[in-house]
Amino acid sequence: MPGYHRHMRILVLGGYGLFGSRLSRTLARDAGLTVIVAGRDRARAERLVAGIDGPLAQLETAAIDTAATEFDERLAALRPDLVIDTAGPFQGRDYRVAEAALAIGAHCVDLADGRAFVGGIGALDEQAHAANRWVVSGASSVPGLHAAVIAAHLDRFSRLEHVETAIAPGNRTPRGWATTLSILGYVGHPFRILRDGAWRTAHGWQSLKRIKVPGVGARWVARCEVPDLDVLPVRYPNLRTLDFRAGLELRRMHFGLWLASWAVRARLLPSMVPLARPLFAMSEFWQDIGSDTGFMQVTMRGIGTDGRPLALDWTLVAREGDGPQIPATAAIVLARKLARGELSGGGARPCLDLFTLEEFMAALDGFAMTATLREA
């Protein structure tokens, strides 16, 4: 990769978590950076740093709590040029981290998957422009990678009308607590989706569908509420349908959550979130069952440039437990582009049109990933 035009201090909030640890380890291989692994538990940050072999970046650790009253002062004392926020869940959170970053002249990138959180990040656009800094929300699989996949294949279509996407991790892949809370927060609850040219009501973890992926097999998936449901129809106004689903490899877990969604929908339970601890423990108990292989599949349909119907399936298969590297990679790509001075200007926006699919896949080099494209 090209050398960095400046020494950048990168603070990774939640830097020892599921995605933050992968992000920290990857950026630690880059000479010319200082990576500050941070979170509420400094001992965990220090253990992570001690386990990184031969880092080329300078590594530091810090104890910092985004909910503490002294957060702004603590952030300023660490002097970051870029704050990467991996400390979800982002549902129900405000923009305190991004505002504090802008106040000290730092960029801010987050891995948010909260629909309202990512969709509302434009509220900071004027402030970010004035500071000549970037605030990028959703620098993860959604909407970051998802949008890059669509953009990479848009030139095959004269009119893209339908996008249907599914993510299904392998059961033996490590899972995160924040991701668990995020999913349980919408299970059984209604939300809007664009289908057949109209906004309709869907419910979390319902509308089951079975998907077959070559080399992986069949997985069941169900509807999820993600920021893409709002931001991609704005970016691609010709879309008539945008559907997003996810699945759990073990049927006992996937269908158990599906049954629970009906209890929430029927208002027998207000939410699945209060049951998060026992459900997470159960999933950990079963983690040695199943595979370490997961996938993301994006199906795009519409009219091709030759005027005939066209359907494309782009599939990314992750093996050997490398799936969690995917959600961490968009922020890695953005951090490197900022350090190289390749993102001029500033502003606050969802993670769209800031990197290409080629750049994203290049950052996954060395991991057990295979991407394929086929005409359906």
Does position 2 have pLDDT exceeding 60, yes or no?
no
Residues 301-310: what's their mean pLDDT?
97
Q: What is the pLDDT of residue 132?
A: 97
Does position 215 have pLDDT exceeding 50, yes or no?
yes
How far is Cα 259 from Cα 255, in angstroms, rounded to an integer? 6
CB 272 within 8 A of CB 124: no
pLDDT in tens, 318-327: 999 999 999 9
Strands 309-318 and 294-304: antiparallel
Q: What is the pLDDT of residue 24?
A: 98
pLDDT in tens, 233-268: 999 999 999 999 999 999 999 999 999 999 999 999
Q: What is the pLDDT of residue 91?
A: 86
Q: Computed from CA positions of residues 52, 57, 58, 60, in that sequence, does the dihedral angle turn out positive or negative?
A: negative
pLDDT in tens, 6-36: 789 999 999 999 999 999 999 999 999 999 9
Q: How many residues does the chain have?
A: 376
Does position 1 have pLDDT exceeding 70, yes or no?
no
DSSP state of 156: G
Tally of CB atoms within 10 A around 262: 15
Does position 69 have pLDDT exceeding 50, yes or no?
yes
Does position 185 have pLDDT exceeding 70, yes or no?
yes
Residues 169-195: what's their mean pLDDT?
94
Residues 44-68: what's their mean pLDDT?
96
Q: Which domains does the chain have, with CATH numbers?
A: 8-140+325-366 (3.40.50.720), 142-322 (3.30.360.10)
How far is Cα 80 from Cα 105, in angstroms, rounded to an integer? 9
Does position 3 have pLDDT exceeding 80, yes or no?
no
Q: What is the pLDDT of residue 175?
A: 85
Does position 369 have pLDDT exceeding 80, yes or no?
yes
Does position 92 have pLDDT exceeding 70, yes or no?
yes
Residues 84-94: what's their mean pLDDT?
90
28-32: long-range contacts, CB 8 A cutoff, minimum separation 24: 28/52, 28/55, 28/56, 28/57, 28/59, 29/55, 29/56, 29/57, 30/1, 30/4, 30/56, 30/57, 30/336, 30/339, 31/56, 31/57, 32/3, 32/4, 32/7, 32/8, 32/57, 32/339
pLDDT in tens, 320-351: 999 999 999 999 999 999 999 999 999 999 99
Residues 88-105: what's their mean pLDDT?
94
Q: What is the pLDDT of residue 311?
A: 98
Peptide bond between residue 143 and the one before it cis (omega within 30 degrees of 0): yes
Grade residue 372 by pLDDT with cuts at 50, 70 and 90.
very high
Q: What is the pLDDT of residue 186?
A: 96
Q: Please name the residue ranges forming H helices in the chain.
A: 18-27, 42-50, 71-78, 96-103, 115-119, 125-131, 146-153, 177-186, 228-235, 251-265, 276-285, 325-339, 357-363
